[in-house]
Chains A and B, each alone.
Chain A
Amino acid sequence: MTPLDPAFFRLLRLNGAIAGAILIAAAFVVEAILGGRLGLPRGTLAAPAVLAALYLVVLSPARRYRAWGYEMGVEELHVRRGVWTRIYTIVPLGRVQHIDVSQGPLERSLGLSRLVLHTAGTLHSQVVLPGLWRETAEAMRDEIRGRIAPGEE
């Protein structure tokens, strides 16, 4: 399977860092307010928060990055994702209703795009493939656009 763009790994790490920073800040604030009153030893909240943040920045991005993968077949797109629960989705390209290419602010700064395939289904009405180099995403969009079976309602 094709891995996602390496820049996506940086994006995941960046997201992890932001989440970790928020977590640590929250832990320190809560500890500063409640710690003294409850007589907790210093670092009861902050230490686990720092560990969790380390996990989010050091370990988790690599695992999440490795979990993602895609394969553009002739008639279908295969997407693999998920660290704990692994999910493998197959979308027949003839079933695609419309296609989005979107970009958040962080993604834009790294030159990444997200490809979103919408089908008429309910459970997987959106199949999201993040972390694509912008040109790749657009090329895939055009390719899928060309494969959408004409004449079918």
Chain B
Amino acid sequence: MSAAIADRRLHPGTILLRFLKEAPGAVLAVPAGVAFASRGGFTRIFALVAVMTAVVVFSKWLAWRRFRYVVGASEIVVESGIFSRNRRTIPFDRVQDVDIERTFLARVFGLARVRIETGAGGRDEGLLDSVTLAEAQRLREIVRAFHAVAPQAEAAVETAPEGRLLYAMGVPRLLLFGLFSFSLMYIAGFFALLQTFDGLLPFDIYDPARWMGLIGDYLPERFTAAAIAIVLFLAVLLGLIAGVVRTAARDFGFRLVLEGGRFRREHGLFTRREAVIPRRRVQLAAVDTGPVRNAFGWSGLSFQTLGSGGERSGRQAAAPFAERDEVAAILAEAGAYRLPPPPELATVSRRHILRSLVGKLLPLAALILAGSLWRPQLLFLLLFLPLLAIGVAVERRFHRYALDGELLFVARGAWRQRLWLVPVANVQALSLSRGPLQRRLGLATLSVDTAGAPVVRAPRIVDLREADAEALAARISAYASGRKSGTER
């Protein structure tokens, strides 16, 4: 079926268009050219420009010549590349939309740039730069006609406009949330502020001799314990106030409304923001909390969405500060989501501690030992290493996972606790990786890839026992590729 021969080319005007587009950039190279050709005079500059133009036009021509595409019965095939040949097949099923862009220059030539969107991470998936406007419209018609045959689930959903309030944040809760948003950052900010008004204070807070003196027995008369207490109290107070103000500005009047198949969210004190999160675009849910917040039963819920067209891709807050029941209620409306079942999530292998320690402790210890060759006092730092070990052990207690039916739970973080809820049906790919040390310890890391995921904090289960990892991967992939029904465990 992919035997379609790519025989269509872009419009030849493309060569000129691309050349003109890059010409302004080439102007920057002129001073260098002038410097080079200054001895040869005008003719030499002219020759240089001519050669450069010829080279650029030739390369554009070559790229044009090597670029071919064809619209087959159910896919678009694009061939490109001057030296490396690439043949890309984009099935119509995967095409979300066909965008037609017309820059001013393109309009002059009667051309248009066609962008075929497939939702694959938002890069240049299929770019036809450029074809005639008629050709662009033909492409769009073909794709739209193909999609029109398939029934649109979306249309039915849009006809239920009246919304249902799922979550709203009142003023008392907003204030409480603000208090929890207290951060040491504000204390740093406070001290930065102090520095600005340095002259107004009776002492110099940045005088290291004073601080050193404080540790010793030297205390200036004004620098009493009371003064220090007041400064600290002010810093904490300011931190709290700043937290409340910032939170109020962002989340005042936070409301989450369910309208048909979409969540509508509005928030903000000075600028009211509104966003729509279509339910079917939700890829996974994340519940964030911290040790203190969790003790009081508070957590925040956000969704990771796959954007298309103008919609934003990425993390969208659904309820920044909510009780467990509220989170559960929103999750229930989001589709296949729920909080983890009562049987506790499983922890990763104990050897995870060992591996983390080898990775963190050894380099640090080596650094300290090396440093102690010059300054023997540094050896005292070794006393802090056991603390690191305790930290690693605690982190492991908070790194948990479970696959419950079609929902994968991954929890991570002792301080910034996050629980991911990943419907297996949304898993795009999964991979097991084993580093040299992991192989020795019989461990493996399982990462599941979802659409719209951030690169840094994505659900990963680090250091599972190898056998567990393989079994889990097999179960996930079985669900993900639809071999098992949802009820089966």
Contacts and interface: CB of A to CB of B under 8 A. Distances in A.
Interface of A: 74-76, 82, 84-105, 108, 118-125, 127, 138, 141-142, 145-146, 148-153
Nearest to B470: A88
A124 B449 contact: yes
A75 B125 CA distance: 24
Given A76-B481, A86-B439, A118 B120 contact: yes
A122 B481 contact: no
B110 interface: no
Interface in B442-485: 447, 449-455, 458, 473, 477, 480-483
B280 interface: yes
A107 B5 CA distance: 22
How big is the B interface, by class? 35 or more
A97 B94 contact: yes
B75 A145 contact: yes
B1 A142 contact: yes
Contacts of A86: 433-434, 439
Contact of B84 (A75, A89, A103): A103
Nearest to A82: B433
Contact of B428 (A84, A88, A103, A119): A119
Contact of B2 (A87, A141, A152): A141
Chain A contact residues: helix, strand, loop or mixed: mixed
Interface of B: 1-2, 75, 81, 83-91, 93-94, 96, 118-121, 123, 125-126, 150, 280, 306, 427-436, 439, 447, 449-455, 458, 473, 477, 480-483
Given A101-B87, A121-B449, A138 B2 contact: yes
24 contacts: A75-B482, A84-B435, A85-B434, A85-B435, A93-B481, A96-B94, A97-B90, A98-B89, A98-B91, A98-B118, A100-B88, A102-B86, A104-B84, A108-B85, A121-B428, A121-B429, A122-B458, A123-B458, A124-B428, A124-B431, A125-B428, A127-B429, A148-B91, A151-B150
Nearest to A123: B449
Given A92-B427, A121-B121, A145-B2, A101 B433 contact: no
Contacts of A96: 94
Contacts of B83: 104-105
A136 B354 CA distance: 44
A149 B94 CA distance: 9
Contacts of A94: 481-482
A150 B482 CA distance: 13
A120 B85 CA distance: 23
Nearest to B473: A90
A102 B453 CA distance: 27
Contacts of B126: 98
Contacts of A141: 2, 89
Contacts of B451: 119-122
A76 to B, nearest CB: 5
A88 B431 contact: yes
Contacts of A97: 90, 94, 118-120, 125
Contacts of B84: 102-105
B93 A148 contact: yes
Given A121-B428, A124-B428, 19 more contacts: A85-B433, A87-B431, A87-B432, A89-B432, A92-B477, A97-B119, A98-B94, A101-B89, A103-B84, A118-B120, A118-B125, A119-B429, A120-B306, A122-B454, A123-B449, A124-B429, A141-B2, A148-B93, A150-B150
